[in-house]
Structure 1
Amino acid sequence: MGVQFGSFDSICETAALVICSLVGTAQGIEPSCYSRNVEVGGTIIFQPSTSFVHIVAIIMTAIMIFHIRSKYTAVGRKEIVMFFYMYIVIELLAMFLDSNIIPTANSSYPWFAAIYTGLVAAAYCCLLINGFVGFQFAEDGTPLSLWFMRIACLVVFGVSFFISIATFKGFAGFSYSKPIGLWIIYILWPIICAAVYVVSQLVLVFRTLEDRWPLGDIIFGAAFYTVGNVLLFAFSVTICDAIKHYIDGLFFFTLCMLLSVMMVYKYWDSITREDLEFSVGSKAAVWEVKDPLLSTGLDYSEEDTVSNYHGGGVAPSLVGGVSGQQLYQKGGMGGRGYPPSDRY
């Protein structure tokens, strides 16, 4: 059975998503095949391989955030770092939800799942807005640009959170048996945002950049994103059966999403150049001598053979053609020495 608009039945039967235990029926929808569990210290951990990828994603995202923050004058630095902050929180929350550290039977699970859904929708909104930062509709880093992004992401988060929790709890006209609104924000909205971001960056590269190498980052990022979704929604059961339940499509989906996010960072890093005049670095500047007169290694104190300070003779004066010593030495310049001999 293929994917139907507004229905999670076929999706959740294939992929073990965070929300699958909260939609469809009162007991949720159980996937046909999922990764086997492990027991650690008396606690059963679901999706151990996927949880490991979540940990790796958190570490890698922290490294990317550090490098972004170190580029003090790069274009769109404050805007893009907000996306990575959201992603690191999403990965942290997904690790607790996927691994069943927060049990699905716990009364707090729907609330955490709603927060997770809202953060995912807000992160895609942030990525969408970042796609237009390079066009400079509003100057990057200004209060207008930053607050527009913050308010937009907050609105998307609030709407998505409300739709999610209303669907899980079945109030305000929403129902877990017909989660059309949740399907739109969880399945359709990310695809739209990712597609618009890719198209906008292709336009940006072709219209404003002379370098075409960033196209490779865009292509790889889009490829990882597409492959991850295909493996999750089409081949998760096949992978799970073939590898005897050790991993499933969720593992490859999480890994591909990490690679896609890394390509977003790589693309942003490749199209931004820091203004070194105003940059602040941790290393001291190394100045290279370019003047050949300063790099000959000569000792000028030894070369100055005509200086009086080295006994090299009488140096001519720049005024009057004679030096003070020539003028005032006794017997010099026709007896004009000092003191005059006729007075003493």
Structure 2
Amino acid sequence: MSADSKFAFGNFNYICSTVSLTLCPLVGDDDGIEPLCYSRNMKLADSLIFQPSTLIIHIIALIMTAIMIYHIRSKYTAVGRKEIVMFFYLYMLVTIMDLLLISGIIPTASDLYPYFTGVHLGLISATFWCLLLNGFVGFQFAEDGTPLSVWSIRISSFIVFAAVTFLSIATFQKLGPFDYTNPVALWVVFFIFNGAALLIYVILQIVLVVNTLDDRWPLGDIVFGIAFFATGQVILYVFSLDICIFAKHYIDGLFFGTIATLLSVMMVYKYWDSITKEDLEFSVGSKQNVWEVKELLGEEEMAATGGLYSQQLHQVPSGGSGYGYNNNGNSPAPGSYGQANFYEDRH
């Protein structure tokens, strides 16, 4: 068993015969392109669920992304917090759309499937674009967290999303010059545009770490992130067929590709977390641990200090102006709201 054809520029035939991407039923010919081997389905509540193992990974990815978003939002004063969190929101949307499409919850025979797939591809490109723009945040071309920085990413990411979504739907519906039998423009966006955005982001972060930071450990996060992503792509497009045959249709390359993508996204978070420090003085809801070094006191100093402390405790200013005391200075008085005084008069 082998793929239908060799890898070719602007052609999804080889890729879709190897792995079941969401766009494969919509390109190539009228019936789409079916992979030679794919993960077996599972019946659940009178419905067929495709790619059940990959579906579980998608659910785990949603949980992990929610945790990362929570930690990012809790770092109130970290640099680029508002900008990077948009990348994780987009990745969460991509995961949700992928979950709905590959599992068959939205069946390929549905009239809505081409539109959902177009939105899915648009979200993927917007996610890569958002990551690219986050690569410039550390250079402070615009101060992070300002409306200029935040809204430039939001608006441009939406433009990319809308453009790629339109291109995808036009290709699937054979509108104008776009044709699903020759989807060159969609192929260029899917592989070259998204790949270039990722490559530029990586280069920018390497330059940032080398020229700006004293610590070189964040380079390890970048290396691991690229390694995970590259491994996932190789498994997805090269070894998916072999994995599917070896595993007897229980899993395919899409399973490992989804895991590798999740790990690479987690390394993006780990990298951002390693290069940003929160200013605890201005953080909200953070508890500072203040460590003090106290010298041991001699017996005479302890005695003198204890006597002074005792004298201060029992000394009452004239006129009874001390907080929580009556004018005669003999007994504790209720506080401003009737609560008992913190200290008790023991004499």
Alignment-derived partner of residue 52 in structure 2 = 48
Alignment-derived partner of residue 14 in structure 1 = 18
Do the aligned residues in 1 keep the contact of 2:27 with 2:33 (CA within 8 Å)?
yes
Question: Given the alignment of the two structures, is residue 241 of structure 1 paired with residue 274 of structure 2, yes or no?
Answer: no
Find the partner of 1:272 among 253, 276, 282: 276
**How far apart are the structure 2 equivalents of 1:62 and 1:298?**
53
**How far apart are the structure 2 equivalents of 1:194 and 1:279?**
32
Alignment-derived partner of residue 82 in structure 2 = 78
1:289, distance to aligned residue in structure 2 (A): 4.6
Gaps of 5+ in 1: 311-344
Alignment-derived partner of residue 185 in structure 1 = 189
Do the aligned residues in 2 keep the contact of 1:39 with 1:45 (CA within 8 Å)?
yes
**How far apart are the structure 2 equivalents of 1:295 and 1:124?**
65
Question: Given the alignment of the two structures, is residue 195 of structure 1 paired with residue 202 of structure 2, yes or no?
Answer: no
Alignment-mate amino acid for residue 139 of structure 1: E
Distance 1:264 1:303, change over 3 A: same
The aligned runs of 1:138-149 (5 Å cut-off) are 138-149=142-153
1:281, distance to aligned residue in structure 2 (A): 2.4
CA deviations on 1:119-172 (whole Å, 9 max, x unpaired) are 000000000001111111111111111111111101101110110000011112
Alignment-derived partner of residue 213 in structure 1 = 217
Alignment-mate amino acid for residue 156 of structure 1: V
CA deviations on 1:31-65 (whole Å, 9 max, x unpaired) are 01100111011110000011010000000000000
Alignment-derived partner of residue 72 in structure 2 = 68
Distance 1:260 1:298, change over 3 A: same
Find the partner of 1:114 among 118, 132, 135: 118
1:3, distance to aligned residue in structure 2 (A): 1.8
Provide the aligned C-alpha RMSD in A. Answer: 2.0
CA deviations on 1:66-93 (whole Å, 9 max, x unpaired) are 0000000111000000000000111011
Alignment-mate amino acid for residue 74 of structure 1: A
**How far apart are the structure 2 equivalents of 1:156 and 1:125?**
8
Structure with larger Rg: 1
Find the partner of 1:159 among 150, 159, 163: 163
1:294, distance to aligned residue in structure 2 (A): 9.5
Do the aligned residues in 1 keep the contact of 2:69 with 2:85 (CA within 8 Å)?
yes
**How far apart are the structure 1 equivalents of 2:239 and 2:306?**
82
Do the aligned residues in 1 keep the contact of 2:232 with 2:256 (CA within 8 Å)?
yes
Alignment-derived partner of residue 338 in structure 1 = none
The DSSP-based 3-state class of the residue aligned with 2:281 is: coil
Do the aligned residues in 2 keep the contact of 1:289 with 1:295 (CA within 8 Å)?
no
- Percent identity, aligned pairs only, is 55
Gaps of 5+ in 2: 315-347
- If the length of structure 2 is used for normalisation, what is the TM-score? 0.84
- If the length of structure 1 is used for normalisation, what is the TM-score? 0.85
